[in-house]
Amino acid sequence: MPKNKYIDMDITNLPTPAFIVDERLLRKNLEILKSVIDRTGCKILLAQKGFSMFYFYPLIGKYLNGTTASSLFEARLGYEEMELKNTERKLETHIFNPSYREDEFDEIMEITNHIVFNSFNQWNKFKDKVREFEEKNGKKISCGLRLNPEFSEVETEIYNPAGRFSRFGVTLENFREDELEGLDGFHFHALCEQNSDALENVLKIFEKKFGKYLYDMKWLNFGGGHHITRADYDIEKLIKWINYIKEKYDVEVYLEPGEAVALNTGFLVSEVLDITKNEMDILLMDTSASCHMPDVIEMPYRPFIFGSGMPDEKKYTYKLGGPTCLAGDIIGDYSFDEAVKVGDKLILLIWHIIVW
């Protein structure tokens, strides 16, 4: 079959819009993550908010240690499609939610191994339920508390979980040392698409504020946002800090990357449906920023398109717009060496986040 000059597959007759995942690239990422597990003894979970294409869960389960979720149905997806379907290894299903619903909590306990609470109020509300469930079912649920170090180097505020007025986690001011009984671990999340130097800086602050309480815990979850599979990521520094925390506090360390699992493995193929003009040429695509790539608008970010350049960098410049009625459904401005025609297919590298 004729191969596309940008990706090693034929897209000539591919119906669009279409998401494509290259399993070879996915395996490469998983091998990198597994090397971190092997060198440190840590556990790495798939954060499903970053990649929830459950077709690949059996494959991912051969490398990672399970999934983490933020809702009942997301937890059920990880439990049913990864934990239950992997018979070779014991996998885990974790959940964190800022405020659990009482009418869902019984089912959450049925399908999860770890439950992280956002506040002491939430912990005190549900801890007796957890104990009763454990006694009745003979199943251990490891409970943890999310802490907020009140420090982060995330520049885009909408993605900053430790920013001012954040609803996530317990701050030092609100920490209740006398209410830790029954908790096995702590969780923090203060990164977004960042290198291990950002993790290092967060851990230094976290240790100063909460380190003395770690000696009585069984695990510490570093959260997500680790861009481990990025080409310039400093894996050696990550390994150093994982081993340091494990050895100093005698705790198990968890990481829960989402985007790093599928980083640079996925493509979005879109067809040009029409070309119009309003001061500049506009390509009307069959792909929507708001529907297929919401972070283009929310973050915002500019997805890479193979063969393109920045506006006016190449001979022909276009604005790319989606098929919805939302005026702001704009993918961005791009330039190309050759004029784009109706029926042409453009390939977007979804490096930021893959949503299925």
Residue set of the binding site for substrate: 259, 295
Tell me the two tokens of residue 183: 């908790």
Question: Which residue type sits at 344?
Answer: D
How far is 229 from 2, CA to CA, in rounded Å? 30
Instruction: State how far the alpha carbon of 104 is from the alpha carbons of 71, 99, 111, 208, 309, in Å.
Output: 9, 11, 11, 36, 49
**What are the binding residues?**
259, 295
SS3 92: strand
Q: Give the residues across from 20 on adjacent strands.
A: 267
Retrieve residue 345's tokens.
């297919």
Which residues sit opposite 46 in a β-bridge? 67
Classify residue 79 by its DSSP letter.
I
E strands present in the chain: 18-21, 43-44, 46-47, 66-69, 92-97, 114-117, 142-146, 185-187, 219-221, 252-255, 266-277, 281-285, 304-305, 308-309, 316-321, 330-336, 345-349
